[in-house]
Amino acid sequence: MCLMPLSQFAACGLTYAAATGLVDVMRASCAIGSFYVLWAVHNKRSGNVNEKGHFTAGALAIGGGMGSHIFAALGAASVVGSIALVLVKVGPWPRAEMAYVMKRTYGWTGVFKAYMLSMMLQMFVLGGLIVRDYSVVLAQRAASAGRAL
């Protein structure tokens, strides 16, 4: 249960570092995506048959690793979308019912819901940073192409 807030704290810190220019946005995307791929694979191997995070976070990791802004942005958007689908399904459930159905503790359900909301927001911000970075890259290309003429 502690891994959820700790991982989100680290991912938000890395996103903040990318937003302030301390870390390259694409490297941050690759690192964040890679961590969540490993987590999703662990969840899948632990018996969570519904886990699909390795696909969405994988697109983010691969896009960031290849330096493909479009692929990374699509990966971030797919993570946001998949979390939104989960929250639409289980978000309205009372925590006691969710704990019973998922065979978890009442405290875990609160941490899980907060984690999902914060991760969705963080991925939305990361996607925006990727798009911002891409617009800078395109502007630099256009400026250098103008000088070449």
Q: Is residue 145 part of a domain?
A: no
Task: Report the predicted TM-score, pTM, of the whole model to 2 decimal places.
Answer: 0.89
pLDDT at 79 over 70: yes
Return the structure tokens found at 102.
């998922």
pLDDT at 140 over 60: yes
Q: Is residue 10 part of a domain?
A: yes
Per-residue pLDDT tens over the stretch 89-126: 988 899 999 899 888 999 999 999 999 999 999 999 99
Contact 131, 69 (CB under 8 A): yes
pLDDT at 148: 59
- Domain ranges, residue 7: 3-136
- State how far the Cα of 148 lies from the Cα of 5, in Å rounded to an integer: 50
- State how far the Cα of 85 lies from the Cα of 79, in Å rounded to an integer: 10
Q: Is residue 142 part of a domain?
A: no
**Structural domain count of the chain:** 1
